[in-house]
A and B are shown apart, each in its own frame.
Chain A
Amino acid sequence: MIERIRAVALTQIYVMMLRIRLFEERLVYLYPAQEIKTPVHLSIGQEAIAAGVCQNLTKSDYVFTNHRCHGHCLAKGMSMSAMMAELYGKNTGCCKGKGGSMHLSDPQLGILATSAIVGANLPIAVGAALSLKLRERKNISVVFFGDGAVDQGVFFESLNFAALKKLPVLFVCENNFYATNSLQKARQPLDNIFKRAEIFGIKGWRCAGNDAQEVYDLAKRLIQKLRANSSGPHLLECRTYRWKAHVGPDCDFQSGCRPKPELDAWISNCPIKKLEIFLIKTGLLTQDKIRKIRQRINREIMRAEFLAKKSRFPSAGELTTDVYWKE
């Protein structure tokens, strides 16, 4: 029998994955209307990592994400309305229309900054963890990045410093094997991202990024360790795959970016289907419940869309505000 806390967590992860999936599928539908004028980097196919890791976080923990940030932000508690309005460039967006899809943030939710410069969010996450340590807090800092970020110098600079100062950081690499269209094996001599932790004397882990249970369980263990003592950071490599193109709502196999059989194999390894089958088998969900969950999520999306379209654009005067902080 599955224990109760775990059952609740897995059900919540399932709902969160479905929210991310349906939200982004709606973006695919809406995008051609050209009312969303911001480059969208969709995480369809990668939802288990955002949902599985963030299930273990509280509001006061920090999350730093990248250009492919919709899933992480939803999983950390951002409302669909604040996100959708931001994509539409409206003043009700989480950044008042000044950030767009690649820079979603909400300090109240611990989403302090989202960077579209590959790898640049790693040292920022480490700095936030340094603050936690100096202020003697029990919270942690989590940073999501792709296999492309591992190519960057700051990846090593960040692991080095976080290990040196024993900072409470969870480095989560979403290895989807492509940086834009460049294959991991064209950029890195070895397929061993998780092992790169060892050279700094810290632990690296690898898991199946499309298996929400595996992500959740491992992240839970690592986060508990991070909270319990100051033994230093952990690196978690989650292997996954994005179904859509690097940017935009389309698939990219038609343009020859990736082989179709490779994509098909990963689609048949869908993280949501996988957990759904498990939850039905264990009796935690039924087809009827799933139908109701989907209906609820679709209503949430429609409402977000309605509010975003109805909201006003920022006023012309707002072009020049917020360049500097004024108390």
Chain B
Amino acid sequence: MPWTKLAVDSASKRFLDSKKNLCGRVLSYREALREAHYQALKRDARVFIMGQGVDDPAGVFGSTLGLHQEFCARVFDTPIAENGLTGFAVGAALAGMRPILVHMRMDFLLLTFDQIINHASKLCYMSGGRIHVPLVIRAIIGRGWGSAAQHSQALQALFMHIPGIKVVLPASAYDAKGLLLSSIADDNPVIFIEHRWLYDIQDSVPANEYLVPIGKGLIKRGGKDITVVAISLMVNEALIAATKLKQNGIEAEVIDLRSLRPLDQEIIVNSVKKTGRLIIADLGWRTAGAAQIILGNIHHKIRRYLKAGVEIVALPDTPTPSSAYLEKIFYPGAADIIRAAKRIYVRTKH
């Protein structure tokens, strides 16, 4: 198996939050994704990429740009038939391939629930572990410019509910490459969620192939006073908030979970043991969202360390508005994380 030869790179534990730390080779998130695709196609003839626009001049916001020129049989455009496509990918995976299915808008994954939830996630179990579905489904979350209610949804919580699949959300270019390679190497279906606003962020990205482990969070910034658990774009917001909190003498520890299923409970629990305060910042809606699921999973383990109630920063329970003015109110950011921290401090038992 060509994939198992790749060792997990300990460099993934590095601190990557600050531009000052950029050293060596610097790539953007989109370039890191493209490089991971390229190296996977090169390494393994079973890997192929399909989805709307994967071989067009835009190349899925640059993430698959030009790959079809070298791998024309394995990088191809598709009909607009999301559920069918997901079935084609499941069938190809069952029959020995390692498909990567690309959706430029996560919202369109809602058309594919039958194949993902009834099939991809269950076939291994239903067969008594005799078959498996090594499949990567890339889903890009849009935001801004009036994307509105059907081109902006962050639906990770829906997939967290389903046994048999994995859910990952890289927040840095380094993790984008390492987690995509890990997802392709994984023998299970992986929902790989990318936020469109992360595409231009830059990071040190080694040229070699490396794997970032699925299910392992990362401490992006150490702190002793309050834990901020974040995912995807909210990691950046949490880091901005942490800088401002520091000016008020509060040292926030920022954790990038990177995966939601499996969930790195240990990294959260260990941090809360130290800080006694917890904020969870998600991209999705508050009710039954990822933040609530995370809290539900770990509450019994952290309860006795908490100095105040946990705060959740998430979207209000409304569809995404189109108006730029309403969008601004709709999306939480660093300011909301700071307000949540202040509320926790007001409530903290002394």
Contact = CB atoms under 8 A, between A and B. Distances in A.
Interface of A: 62, 64, 93-99, 103, 105-107, 112-113, 115, 117, 120, 122-132, 134-135, 141, 153-154, 157-158, 160-161, 164, 321-327
B30 interface: no
Interface of B: 1, 4, 48, 73-74, 78-79, 81, 83-97, 99, 114-115, 118-119, 123-134, 163-164, 166, 187-188
B95 A131 contact: yes
Contacts of A128: 91-92, 94-95
Contact of A115 (B4, B85, B89, B118): B118
Contacts of B127: 95, 98-99, 103, 105, 107, 113, 322
A126 to B, nearest CB: 5
Given A95-B130, A107-B130, A123-B86, A134 B94 contact: no
B43 to A, nearest CB: 16
A312 to B, nearest CB: 14
Contact of A323 (B81, B85, B134, B163): B163
Nearest to B135: A127
8 contacts: A96-B129, A112-B94, A123-B115, A126-B88, A128-B91, A153-B81, A325-B133, A325-B134
A322 B124 contact: yes
A140 to B, nearest CB: 12
Contacts of B118: 115, 117, 120
Contacts of A96: 128-129
Q: Is the interface of A mostly helix, strand, loop or mixed?
A: mixed
A271 B254 CA distance: 69
Nearest to B4: A327
A325 B132 contact: yes
B128 A94 contact: yes
A131 B130 contact: no
Contacts of A64: 91
B95 A324 contact: no
A132 B129 CA distance: 23
A131 B83 contact: no
Contact of B87 (A97, A126, A325): A126
Contact of A160 (B79, B95, B131, B132): B79
Given A113-B126, A115-B119, A127-B92, 19 more contacts: A98-B127, A103-B126, A112-B94, A112-B95, A113-B90, A113-B91, A113-B131, A120-B118, A124-B91, A126-B87, A130-B91, A131-B94, A131-B97, A134-B97, A153-B83, A157-B81, A161-B78, A327-B4, A327-B187
Given A113-B94, A134-B48, A105 B88 contact: no
A170 to B, nearest CB: 14
Contacts of A122: 87
Contacts of A154: 81, 83-84, 87
Which 10 pairs between the two chains have the least Cβ-Cβ distance? A127-B91, A123-B87, A157-B84, A96-B128, A322-B129, A325-B132, A131-B95, A127-B88, A124-B91, A157-B81
B97 A124 contact: no
Nearest to B90: A124
Contacts of A125: 91
Contacts of A98: 125-128
A130 B95 CA distance: 9
Contact of B83 (A106, A123, A132, A326): A123
Contacts of A134: 48, 73-74, 92, 97
A131 B91 contact: yes
Given A106-B130, A123-B88, A157-B84, A322 B125 contact: yes
A117 B78 CA distance: 24
Contact of A127 (B87, B130, B164): B87
B97 A161 contact: no
A37 to B, nearest CB: 16
B81 A160 contact: yes
Nearest to A318: B128
A229 to B, nearest CB: 18
A124 B128 contact: no
A324 B124 contact: yes
B119 A120 contact: yes
Contact of B124 (A127, A141, A325): A325
A130 B85 CA distance: 11
Nearest to A105: B127
Contacts of B83: 123, 153-154, 157
Contacts of A99: 126-128
Contacts of B128: 93-99, 322
Nearest to A131: B95
A40 to B, nearest CB: 16
Contact of B92 (A93, A105, A130, A322): A130
Given A123-B86, A161-B84, A325 B93 contact: no
Identify which of B78, B88, B164 gathers the most chain A CB atoms within 10 Å of its CB.
B88
A325 B73 contact: no
Contacts of A126: 84, 87-88, 91
Nearest to A64: B91
Contacts of B129: 96, 321-322, 325
Contacts of B92: 127-128, 130-131, 134
B88 to A, nearest CB: 4
A103 B125 CA distance: 10
B126 A95 contact: yes
Contacts of B119: 113, 115, 117, 120, 124
A164 B130 CA distance: 31
Nearest to A158: B84
A130 B94 contact: no
A88 B133 CA distance: 26
A106 B128 CA distance: 10
A325 B187 contact: yes
A300 B188 CA distance: 37
Given A120-B114, A131-B92, A134-B74, A105 B130 contact: yes
Identify which of A62, A98, A321, A327 gathers the most chain B CB atoms within 10 Å of its CB.
A98
A282 to B, nearest CB: 40
A303 to B, nearest CB: 22
Nearest to B48: A134
